[in-house]
Chains A and B, each alone.
Chain A
Amino acid sequence: MKKLILSACFALAGLVGLTTTAHAEGFTLKGEPKIAMLYISPTNDGGWTQAFEEARQRLEKELDMKIQYVESVPESASAIRPAVERFIKRGTNIIIGTAFGYSDTFKSLSEDYPDVAFLNGSGTTNGPNLLSYYGRTYESQYLCGMAAGAASETGKLGFVAANPFGQVNWTINAYAMGAREMNPDATVTVVYTGAWNDPTKERSATKALIDQGADVIGQHVDTPTPQLVAQENGVYGTGHHRDFREFAPKATVCSSVWVWDRFLKNELEKIIAGNWVPEPHGALLSMEQGGTDIACCGPNIDKEEEAKIMAARDKLLKGELKVYAGPLKDQNGNVHAEAGEVVSDGDLWQMDWFVDGVITQQ
């Protein structure tokens, strides 16, 4: 009984909390803006963090202010909290995180420091002064799929992916849909490695795909290994995170890249302007809002194909093209969006189905 009353009290308190935030003014900084970023890995990791570091350098120029950073902050409260609190003590009032594993600590920090604005890339928690953001990677990967479909001679594409969950599966489906835009018979065979950062497994997965006849290798893992293996074997590939032509200029035909500065510039300006109201379920960024883009096009894509890819990119940048627009059916014939509908964000995060042309063990 006691428990019941307690939980009722909490529920009530929650309701009150909700209504007050709904009616309250947005978040406004108390002093001059001072920004700091927390990176999960070293700035020269060649992927995720390096993309943030490049965005930070562009932001410093565009906003004409210094942005501090600290690198290699692991995903544990005992590491995140002191780093953030040191920044806050020195007068920093905008903290930008870059990791899924920062979510809970950022939530509690945002409650402890209501005068500080928190942003967290690939996070899951939100609040009156906390906004998580992530990119709709399926848009840029759709374009990479188009490039892959164009570069492939056999129509057999391979894809090296980390773990089978929504965020990865949505890139795979989009990749296949993009490829079929260029070659209606294209197939995408997927190998999951079960790890984001295991070059040994990525290498053997890529080799296995090439042995099975794949001649373009897409990827949603963190290291450039699949591109290196593609180049060694004289086939093509598409990169993720950054422009992987840096590693495999003869192989990489297109890369999905992060352009965080496009989003962060807008969002930081909104915070600095005052009365900032973060989206209650976080910001899932389309290419129109910044977040992702492509670096295109590498070898084996002719002018005509390149024009087609760039036209699709333009439409995505203007918000005119929706990758997950209906009518959309999976391999088993289940309808996920009727004509005129778009698959909802909730369904995207839970995606466990595949479109025609995708070959997986799932």
Chain B
Amino acid sequence: MDLISSWLGNTPEFAVPFALAALGLIITEKSGVLALGAEGLMLVGAVCGIGAYLTFEQTAVALVMAMVAAGVVSLLFALMVLVMRINQVISGLVLVFFCQGLTTLTGTLMGWTNQPVPGLEAIALWPLSELPYVGRFFIQNVVVYLVPVIFLISVWALNRTTSGLRMRAVGENPQAADAAGIPVLGYRLAAIVIGSALIGLAGAFIAVLSTKLWISNMTAGRGWIAVALVIFARWSPWKALAGAILFGCIEALIPQLAASGIKLPQYFVFMAPYAITLGVMIWVAISKRDSSSQPGALGTPFIREERT
């Protein structure tokens, strides 16, 4: 009883960064740009969120500035992949290494390392919060409750608005979209910046709301798990959300099992999230459902009038 309620109560802390980062990646990749830089952009969001909080002492300001900062840094990525048409895999990896160095340097020079911040109060969603077992799942900070709303808006924008449909057209077949008069690079730029802002928010969530401090490289590979999530969600936001919750559940369960003294081989437990990632990816590959859901032009630079 204690174990289950404590477990579910801690799940969003792990699930929300995965969900937001995966959504950001999906938005960018729907426009045909392969984004691998999530790990780096999350760090940018994290350090900027903490820095902004320490400067302005407003959590909302900190979160917004983290999104802006990640968006600004992603302009560099956009310059590389859209204007200079550098290989998108390489650009993404370079972005991660660049951000790791940049954030460590900034955090150190500004003295933001290990400075605790208060985060946000948890709000209880009465009467759901009174339910047995699952009650603690509904005592979370406001950003957790905003996640489904952000997903709803994103899915609606992608499927129901002209801009969203155009962005997806750019990702499926940029030549056709171009012939129809859609500015391909403009839409891709917008997708990169919006997606990166969401990834920045994921990083800020980890630093400002979850752990409540900054240390160098604190995202600890969660950006890479988000990249994997996008692949096994087949670029579907709702499946990515489900995957994020599944991952959050596993990560939150690990310390609960240890704290309640249940005997399980330690290294097997540490391996579990990655073993499950592998398992799900293999399952997706074998079942081949929605195999066409990958954006058609993913990873291909756009050159106007070029035959492909």
Contact = CB atoms under 8 A, between A and B. Distances in A.
Same complex: yes
B288 interface: no
Interface stretch (B62-70, B260-268, B296-304): B260-268
A359 B256 CA distance: 13
Interface string B177-215: 000000000000000000000000000001000111101
Contacts of B256: 208, 211
B217 interface: yes
Given A201-B255, A207-B6, A45 B210 contact: no
A189 B215 contact: no
Contacts of A51: none
Interface string B202-243: 000010001111011110101000000000000000000000
Contacts of B222: 200
Given A209-B259, A212-B2, A361-B257, 6 more contacts: A42-B104, A45-B113, A197-B216, A223-B213, A224-B114, A224-B116
B108 A361 contact: no
B211 A225 contact: yes
B98 interface: no
A189 B260 CA distance: 8
B285 to A, nearest CB: 28
A220 B216 CA distance: 18
A191 B13 CA distance: 18
B261 A189 contact: yes
B99 interface: no
Interface residues of A, number: 40
Contact of B259 (A72, A189, A198): A189
Contacts of A332: none
Contact of A192 (B218, B252, B266): B266
A362 B262 CA distance: 10
A172 B3 CA distance: 24
Given A42-B113, A223-B114, A360-B258, A197 B218 contact: yes
Contacts of B102: none
A361 B269 contact: yes
Interface in A171-215: 189-195, 197-205, 207-209, 211-212, 214
B258 A205 contact: yes
Given A44-B111, A201-B255, A361 B266 contact: yes
Interface of A: 41-42, 44-47, 72, 158, 164, 189-195, 197-205, 207-209, 211-212, 214, 223-225, 228, 247, 359-362
Of A194, A199, A201, A247, chain B has the most CB atoms within 10 Å of the CB of A199
B10 interface: yes
Interface string B103-119: 01000100101101000
Given A44-B113, A223-B213, A191 B266 contact: no
B217 A361 contact: no
Nearest to A191: B258
B261 A200 contact: no
B270 A199 contact: no
Nearest to A228: B116
Interface string B1-25: 0110010001001100000000000
Given A44-B113, A46-B113, A191-B259, A204 B252 contact: yes
A189 B255 CA distance: 11
A193 to B, nearest CB: 7
A4 B48 CA distance: 60
A202 B258 CA distance: 13
A211 B113 contact: no
B140 to A, nearest CB: 13
Contacts of B261: 189, 359-361
Contacts of B14: 200, 204
Contact of A42 (B108, B116, B252, B270): B108
Given A44-B113, A72-B104, A208-B6, A228 B213 contact: yes
Contacts of A47: 114
B13 A46 contact: no
Contacts of A224: 114, 116, 213
A198 B14 CA distance: 12
A207 B265 contact: no
Contacts of B114: 44-47, 223-224, 247
A208 B255 contact: yes
Contacts of B269: 361
29 contacts: A41-B216, A42-B108, A42-B113, A44-B114, A45-B113, A45-B114, A191-B255, A191-B259, A194-B266, A198-B218, A199-B213, A200-B14, A202-B211, A203-B211, A204-B13, A204-B255, A205-B259, A207-B6, A208-B10, A211-B6, A211-B256, A212-B259, A224-B213, A228-B116, A247-B114, A360-B258, A360-B261, A361-B266, A361-B269
A202 B211 CA distance: 9
Contact of B2 (A198, A207, A211): A211
B211 to A, nearest CB: 4
Contact of B258 (A46, A190, A228): A190
A35 B39 CA distance: 38
B220 A198 contact: yes
A47 B215 CA distance: 11
A208 to B, nearest CB: 4
B210 A200 contact: yes
A247 B212 CA distance: 12
B142 to A, nearest CB: 18
Contacts of A44: 108, 111, 113-114
Contacts of B213: 199, 223-225, 228
